[in-house]
């Protein structure tokens, strides 16, 4: 690793940053310098169309601000009028625009939007707009409102986007330079990260043409930093820009970016690589150094190559130190743009989902400010290697930078940068300024107007560069929302500057202070004091993944003896005898044993992951997630048992007490599948044990070793051997014998619907008590996508839901229903993204899709595929649908997708990486009815920006788990209780608050407290 471990205690890092600033910054003086700038901006506020004014009137924290943001994000891409009407009605209907403020913007916008709402239809229970509203005028009015709203959103976009083409943007830039002499621009070609190679080529062409256009106006004789430049996003130039695909990235992406560098260097432009998320930082540095080495070799005098750095990352200062060392190593001067950061909420959520020890970003805003100042000082201290570019709208931060710059090292000895002269040496030119300031187009103009009026004593004007997005309005969506979130939050300087109720002292308060505790619960404390989140790891961090690879090399699959069905009766007797003691063990003692098992499981995470990679052919990511899920089951059911097994006093007449108790049932048979050989096995067993039952556990015959080691771990934690016995063998012999055994108190099963029916019939045919069955089976799980959905998000969700785990999840997506208005583009994106997946050896970190479980499964899926090839329209070519595997591997089936004519054509679940796609039109509620008619009811995905539609469709669906605007796999214990209905299972949901009660019998105890001769309690009470 180039940088320190990313998940370290926040307070320790901030303490170090504060120490680095001691004696280097007088914040009081900086605040005093910033005060007149703030006063001037408040005396001369931005015009009513400026973004600051809009954010003041409708802050993102308000319903109105959120509605406008959602419309800005989605409305421009909706192709059909009816859906656009519904989206507009849905969002405007959730907010109150009737109360206008006293500003021109408030009067105009609020009045227009409030009036618009009167012409919009209301949503019905189906999520469709109500067609019964009065007459033609209302319908024409609704369309007019949408047209007006669309225009308003386009105007909103113009506040943030300099131009829809690079030519248009450069014209706007030229006009801005007339108003503010010396202004420079860094153009950013907007768009989402590439999902397909075609996307990457499109963005590469866009960057190439932009550089050529900018080059026509560049001054070869000027210092490079005085010319305009371009910012490029590496994730836009490669569809698999991620750590696991490093070999591909270095081989394919570096040459693409180098071509852009050559163009920029020849034209004396600056080219900055934009910042990405934490998990890509090390990879970004690998790419950056490879390019820096080429720059040093081919364009050693070029001083325009640069990198953006995010101060909210806890490793920001070490990143600057590392990049400074690279500059000196290759004898270059690099540009470094320092920003606060753009992915804070995503980084927080990822750390929570992965169960990481700490956050990789600061949780307090003023801690990020401290980091920014410490980083600024480090950048200013290295003028031989770094040209700092400070991107900020915070007046206090700007004043602090100017103060620290006064004591920064001089530039007299520095060589000037620029174009290479015909003779090969650098052109002669004046010494450049030591740094520049940057702002976003459409933001902070007032502050910078004042700053540029008052340059430091004895110096010329401070160079200012505008970061200028360029692109079609419908492509600006993600960027626009990100900027709105950053600058519209109540805590942002931009928001507070426009709010005169925020006093000057509060606005310019010193950030140089330490909060000892994070502002959010740490990821492991996500669920509160009662239950610890399972500890996970980040596979992109080498020290965290190294133990997994070491365990894989050292772990062998144990031989597991097969259960002799002739011993079924004696195994039952052993379990029944153990039940007598185990059921009487206090619930808190049983729960303590399960919690010890969870701790032990986390400690052995690498070994259990290695077991699953070897036996179940799981990828490393899936294996880590499964160990964590098993630990979550142990802790959650331990807590739940303590909660539900406490006797409940019930109300009744005086003179008696009434109490409801839950008790264990007896010996349970737990039959678990091979697709989750640890998590489902452990969940079933833990639920039975926690409630005082004993267990005969039959794992899938394909994965006995994982179950064998899980049983050993539970025994070591304190579960009596008689209370948990392993019975490995085929389902039709061992499973059947266990189910048929007289005296069995219950059966819990996860597997196919067909086998669940067999078990149900076998239990029904037995004499004696009616035996409860808890069955969780599969399903033809569908995802409905309407025309408001973002195609990139849909493609991500579809690939994860359909093809992760080789499609061998009960919850996996089998049927994609996509609106005809966007179907062509979405299907093409899915096709291209599927081609980028790597199918191969699950032990290889680069593998996305491993093999199916065995040859029998492989053969069944291949027969289905042959049928689909002849009856449907292939979307992906099976033999060429993914990247080639590193080594040939048995039972490998690459992801496949097929278009079918109707929902009803999909009658059977294919338990593998196979997706059916249907185009739909009309009422989405009718599509849900067709999905319901299939009879399954496990998972459903809904992709829409119409909130009322999402809720109406979810209520209409007869399924157990509905996922809106995300993937539909990976249910988390205690967060998304999992289980279906109909052909998909009996319930109750695993990992939910109603699950354990099914393992229990209920007993009500009523005591006549007056039997001794009178009601003492009543008589003793005051009259």
Consecutive H or E run containing 40:
helix 27-43
* CB-based burial label for 603 (10 Å; 0-12, 13-18, 19+): exposed
Cα Dmax for the chain: 117
Structure tokens at 154: 């386009």
User: Mind spelling out the 3-state secondary structure of 607-643?
Assistant: HHHHHHHHHCCCCHHHHHHHHHHHHHHHHHHHHHHHH
CA 122-124-130 angle, 5° bins = 55
pLDDT number for residue 76: 81
* Helices 254-267, 197-215: crossing angle, 10 deg rounding: 10
Does residue 417 sit within a domain? no
Domain assignment of residue 488, yes or no? no
CB 620 within 8 A of CB 609: yes
The CATH number assigned to the domain holding 576 equals 3.40.605.10
Domain with residue 301: its CATH number is 3.20.20.220
Q: Are residues 738 and 691 in the same domain?
A: yes
Residues 771 and 799 in one domain: no
- How far, CA to CA in Å, does 775 sit from each of 232, 278, 637, 801, 980? 52, 41, 18, 22, 9
Say which CATH number the domain at 830 has.
Answer: 3.40.309.10
Cβ count within 10 A of residue 720: 17
- CA distance linking residue 687 with residue 680, whole number of Å: 11
Residue with tokens 């070591």, as numbered in its chain: 716
Q: Return the closest-CA partner of residue 183 out of 405, 2, 416, 436.
A: 436
Domain contains 167: no
Q: What is the pLDDT of residue 476?
A: 64
Q: Is residue 57 part of a domain?
A: no
Structural domain tally of the chain? 3
Q: Are residues 637 and 762 in the same domain?
A: yes
Nearest residue to 371 (alpha-carbon basis) of 695, 105, 12, 53: 12
Residues of the chain with pLDDT under 70: 47-61, 94-143, 145, 152, 155-156, 410-433, 456-459, 476-491, 877-887, 1023
In this structure, the answer to whether residues 831 and 925 fall within a common structural domain is yes
Domain that includes residue 305, residue range: 10-24+179-409+432-475
Catalytic residues: 776, 810
C-alpha–C-alpha distance, residues 471 and 276, integer Å:
20
- Kindly state whether residues 671 and 703 are assigned to the same domain: yes
981 neighbors 774 (Cβ within 8 angstroms): no
Q: Give a yes or no: residue 64 inside a domain.
A: no
- Output the pLDDT for position 140: 47
Give the bridge partners for 129, in sequence order: 123
Three-state DSSP class for residue 1004: strand
941 neighbors 737 (Cβ within 8 angstroms): no
Residue 765: other Cβ atoms inside 10 A: 8
Mark which of 776, 794, 823 sits at the end of a domain.
776
Q: Three-state SS string across 99-161, please?
A: CCCCCHHHHHHHHHHHHHHHCCCCECCCCCECCCCCHHHHHHHHHHHHHHHHHHHHHHHHHHC
Q: What is the pLDDT of residue 116?
A: 47
Tell which phi-psi region holds residue 943, choosing left (phi > 0), alpha (psi between -120 and 50) or beta: beta
Residue 117 lies in a domain: no
- If asked whether residues 722 and 651 sit together in one domain, one would say yes
The residue count of the chain comes to: 1023
Which of 1004, 498, 979, 577 is CA-nearest to residue 777?
979
Residues 732 and 697 both lie in one domain: yes
Is the Cβ–Cβ distance between 821 and 924 less than 8 Å? no
**pTM to 2 decimals?**
0.93
Residue 155 counted as domain residue: no
Q: Which helix (H) or strand (E) holds 580?
A: helix 568-582
DSSP calls for 858-906: HHHHHHHHHHHHHHSEESS-GGGSSBPPSS--TT----EEEE-S-GGG-
Question: Helix (H, G, I), strand (E, B), or coil: what is residue 671?
Answer: strand
Phi and psi angles of residue 310, each rounded to the nearest 5 degrees, phi first: -110, 115
Torsions phi, psi for 899 (to 5 deg): -90, 130
Exposed, middle or buried by CB within 10 Å (0-12, 13-18, 19+), for 549? middle
How many of the other CB atoms lie within 10 Å of CB of 523?
Answer: 23
- State the pLDDT at residue 119: 45
User: What is the DSSP pairing of strand 656-664 with strand 648-650?
Assistant: antiparallel
Do 737 and 801 sit in the same domain of this protein? no
Domain identity same for 558 and 610 = yes
Pair (816, 786) in one structural domain: yes
Q: Which of 670, 721, 731, 755 is nearest to 983 (CA)?
A: 755
Check if the beta carbon of residue 882 is closer than 8 Å to that of residue 840.
no
Do residue 246 and residue 392 come from a single domain?
A: yes
Count of CB atoms situated within 10 Å of the CB of 6: 25
Judging by DSSP bridges, how do beta strands 939-943 and 1000-1008 pair with one another?
unpaired
Residue 582 lies in a domain: yes
Residue 581 to residue 692: CA distance in whole angstroms:
9
Domain boundary among 757, 776, 795: 776
DSSP at 93: T
Looking at the structure, tell me whether residues 606 and 739 fall in a common domain.
yes
């Amino acid at each position: 690793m180039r940088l320190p471990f990313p998940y370290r205690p926040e307070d320790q890092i901030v303490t170090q940053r504060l120490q680095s600033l001691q004696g280097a910054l007088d914040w009081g003086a900086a605040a005093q310098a910033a005060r007149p700038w703030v006063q001037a901006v408040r005396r001369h506020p931005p015009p009513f169309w400026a973004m600051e004014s809009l954010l003041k009137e409708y802050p993102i924290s308000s319903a109105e601000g959120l509605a406008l943001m959602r419309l800005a994000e989605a409305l421009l891409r909706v192709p059909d009028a009816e859906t656009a009407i519904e989206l507009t009605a849905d969002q405007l209907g959730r907010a109150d625009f009737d109360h206008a403020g006293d500003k021109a913007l408030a009067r105009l916008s609020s009045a227009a939007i409030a009036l618009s709402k009167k012409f919009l239809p209301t949503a019905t229970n189906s999520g469709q707009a109500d067609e019964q509203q009065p007459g033609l005028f209302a319908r024409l009015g609704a369309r007019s409102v949408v047209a007006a709203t669309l225009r308003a959103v386009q105007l909103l976009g113009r506040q943030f986007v300099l131009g829809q083409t690079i030519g248009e943007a450069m014209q706007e830039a030229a006009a801005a330079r007339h108003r503010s002499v010396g202004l420079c621009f860094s153009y950013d070609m907007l768009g989402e990260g590439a999902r397909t190679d075609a996307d990457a080529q499109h963005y590469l062409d866009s960057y190439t043409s932009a550089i050529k256009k900018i080059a026509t106006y560049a001054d070869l004789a000027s210092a490079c930093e005085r010319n305009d430049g371009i910012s490029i996003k590496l994730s836009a130039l490669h569809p698999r820009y991620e750590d696991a695909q490093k070999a591909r990235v270095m081989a394919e992406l570096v040459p693409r970016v180098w071509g852009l560098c050559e163009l920029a260097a020849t034209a004396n432009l600056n080219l900055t690589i934009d910042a990405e998320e934490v998990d890509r930082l090390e990879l970004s540095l690998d790419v950056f150094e490879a390019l820096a080495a080429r720059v040093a070799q081919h364009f050693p005098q070029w001083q325009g190559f640069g990198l953006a750095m995010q101060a909210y990352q806890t490793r920001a200062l070490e990143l600057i130190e590392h990049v400074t060392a690279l500059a000196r190593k290759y004898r270059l001067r690099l540009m470094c743009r320092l920003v606060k950061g753009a992915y804070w909420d995503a980084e927080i959520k990822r750390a929570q989902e992965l169960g990481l020890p700490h956050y990789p970003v600061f949780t307090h805003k003023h801690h990020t400010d401290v980091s920014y100042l410490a980083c600024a000082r480090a950048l200013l201290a290295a003028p031989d290697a770094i040209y700092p570019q400070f991107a900020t709208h915070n007046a206090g931060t700007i004043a602090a930078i100017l103060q620290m710059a006064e004591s920064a090292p001089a530039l007299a000895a520095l060589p000037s940068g620029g174009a290479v002269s015909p003779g090969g040496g650098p052109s002669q030119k004046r010494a450049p300024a030591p740094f520049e300031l940057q702002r976003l187009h459409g933001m902070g103009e007032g502050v910078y107007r004042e700053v540029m009026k008052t340059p430091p004593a004895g110096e010329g004007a401070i160079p200012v560069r505008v970061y200028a997005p360029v692109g079609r309005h419908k492509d600006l969506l993600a960027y626009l929302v990100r900027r709105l979130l950053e600058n519209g939050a109540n805590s942002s300087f931009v928001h507070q500057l426009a709010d005169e109720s925020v006093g000057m002292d509060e606005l310019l308060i010193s950030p140089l202070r330490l909060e000892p505790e994070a502002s959010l619960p740490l990821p492991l404390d996500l669920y509160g004091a009662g239950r610890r989140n399972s500890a996970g790891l980040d596979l992109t961090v080498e020290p965290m993944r190294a133990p997994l690879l070491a365990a894989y090399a050292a772990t062998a699959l144990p031989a597991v003896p097969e259960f002799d069905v002739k011993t079924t009766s004696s195994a039952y007797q052993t379990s029944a005898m153990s039940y007598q003691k185990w059921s009487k063990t206090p619930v808190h003692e049983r729960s303590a044993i399960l919690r010890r098992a969870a701790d032990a499981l986390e400690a052995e995470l690498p070994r259990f992951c290695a077991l699953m990679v070897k036996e179940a052919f799981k990828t490393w990511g899936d294996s880590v997630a499964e160990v964590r899920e098993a630990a979550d089951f142990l802790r959650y059911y331990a807590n739940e048992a303590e909660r539900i097994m406490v006797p409940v006093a019930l109300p009744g007449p005086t003179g008696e007490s009434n109490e409801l108790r839950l008790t264990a049932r007896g010996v349970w048979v737990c039959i678990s599948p091979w697709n989750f050989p640890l998590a489902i096995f452990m969940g079933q067993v833990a639920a039975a044990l926690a409630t005082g039952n004993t267990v005969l556990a039959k794992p899938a015959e394909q994965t006995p070793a994982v179950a064998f080691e899980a049983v050993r771990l539970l025994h070591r934690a304190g579960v009596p051997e008689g209370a948990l016995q392993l019975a490995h063998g085929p389902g039709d012999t061992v499973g059947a014998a266990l189910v048929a055994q007289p005296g069995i108190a219950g059966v819990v099963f996860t597997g196919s619907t067909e086998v669940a029916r067999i078990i149900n019939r076998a239990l029904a045919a037995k004499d004696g008590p009616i035996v409860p069955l808890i069955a969780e089976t599969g399903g033809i799980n569908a995802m409905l996508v309407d025309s408001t959905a973002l195609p990139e998000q849909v493609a991500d969700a579809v690939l994860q839901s359909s093809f992760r785990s080789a499609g061998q999840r009960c919850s996996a997506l089998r049927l994609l229903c996509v609106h005809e208005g966007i179907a062509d583009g979405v299907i093409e994106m899915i096709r291209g993204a599927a081609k980028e997946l790597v199918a191969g050896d699950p032990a290889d970190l680069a593998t996305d899709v491993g093999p199916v479980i065995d040859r029998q499964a492989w053969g069944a899926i291949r027969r289905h595929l042959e049928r689909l090839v002849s009856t449907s329209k292939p979307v992906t070519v099976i033999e060429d649908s993914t990247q080639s595997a590193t080594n040939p591997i048995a039972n490998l089936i690459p992801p496949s997708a097929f278009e079918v004519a109707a929902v009803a054509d999909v009658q059977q679940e294919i338990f593998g990486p196979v997706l059916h796609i249907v185009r739909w039109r009309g009422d989405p509620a009718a599509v849900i009815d067709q999905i319901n008619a299939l009879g399954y009811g496990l998972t459903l995905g809904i992709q829409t920006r119409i909130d009322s539609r999402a809720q109406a469709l979810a209520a209409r669906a007869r399924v157990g788990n509905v996922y809106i605007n995300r993937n539909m796999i990976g249910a988390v214990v205690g967060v998304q209780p999992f289980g279906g209905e109909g052909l998909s299972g009996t319930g109750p949901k695993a990992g939910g608050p109603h699950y354990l009660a099914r393992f229990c019998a209920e007993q009500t105890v009523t005591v006549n407290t007056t039997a001794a001769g009178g009601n003492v309690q009543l008589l003793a009470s005051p009259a």
